[in-house]
Amino acid sequence: MTDWQHQIAMVTGANRGIGLALTEALIARQLKRVYLAGRDLQAIKDTARHLENPYTQLVPLKIDITSGLDITAASQQIPQLDLLINNAGIATGSGFVQSTSSDIALLEMATNYFGPVNLTRALLPALRQSSSAAIVNIGSIAGITNMPLLGPYSASKAALHSFTQGLRAELAKDNIFVQGVYPGPIATRLSDGYEFPKATPADVAEIILNALGQREEDVFPDVMSANWYETFKANPKQLEKEYATWLG
């Protein structure tokens, strides 16, 4: 996908963090239109106003990805879409047994897994109108091997990784490209409090879109995720043990 200027895209969680950086990187490529999706309509309208530019039409949309009503209402406004970036996500930093209920695990699964699944399904008719459609799922390196510091989050991202693989196979006959992105620590609000070297959202956004242009299916967009993935490929058990030591 190198013909950026005729493309129509949607980014979820576009008001901050990696979603904002991806939106800025799409505007730099002068896309025709970008739908900025966010659960806080005022925040997403403010973002769109701030990013106003002469080339790319910016359309703010209220989409809480856990809301079926929001997803249905938004998808009815979108007849054609070339690129869907499922970026919105949450990480609570909880473990599996430290919480007395499963509420957090349910919320992370609803947001990080069922959100992308439901939004993608609703937008498939619009994506099928494109001759070169693509779907980008922003997963996590924690979805490849569970990070016990973020146990339920890792499980939700593992589910998203599995969705990415299955969706890719199912949509191959429709010529819809599906990319999985598996970042390590990136300097956004989500990673506040974690003492790792962090890549910038702007660098990561550039790497993701360049990899999309090259039709790379699996993207490890920062040094930490790339290194951890190398360990995983060489010896998955070693990576599991390494992450476990972080619990202290």
- Using CB under 6 A as the binding rule, the residues of this chain from 149 to 178 that contact ligand NAP are none
User: What interhelical angle do 115-127 and 151-171 show, nearest 10?
Assistant: 20
Position among 33, 38, 152, 219 found at the interface with ligand NAP (CB under 6 A): 38
55 vs 78: CA distance, rounded Å = 20
103 is a site residue for ligand NAP (CB under 6 A): no
Any idea what the Cα angle at residue 90 is, between residues 87 and 91, rounded to 5°? 130
Question: Would you call 153 a catalytic residue per the annotation?
Answer: yes
The alpha-carbon radius of gyration of the chain (Å, integer) is 17
Residue 130 or residue 181: which is nearer to ligand NAP going by CB? 181
Least Cα distance to 10 among 58, 64, 69, 72 occurs for 58
**Distance in Å, CB of 6 to ligand NAP, minimum:** 27
N-term to C-term CA, the chain: 45
**Distance in Å, CB of 51 to ligand NAP, minimum:** 14
Residue 31 φ/ψ, nearest 5 degrees: -60, 160
Kindly provide the residue ranges of all beta strands, DSSP E only, lying in 56-169, ordered along the sequence: 57-62, 83-86, 134-138
Residue 47 or residue 56: which is nearer to ligand NAP going by CB? 47
200 vs 187: CA distance, rounded Å = 5
Residue written as tokens 């997403």?
44
Position among 8, 10, 18, 159 found at the interface with ligand NAP (CB under 6 A): 18
120 is a site residue for ligand NAP (CB under 6 A): no
**Distance in Å, CB of 135 to ligand NAP, minimum:** 14
**Distance in Å, CB of 217 to ligand NAP, minimum:** 17
Stretch that binds ligand NAP, among 9-17, 126-134, 210-218, 235-243 (CB under 6 A): 9-17
Q: Which residues are catalytic?
A: 153
Give the footprint of ligand NAP on this chain (CB under 6 A). 12-13, 15-19, 38-40, 43, 64-66, 87-91, 111, 138, 140, 183, 185-186, 188-191
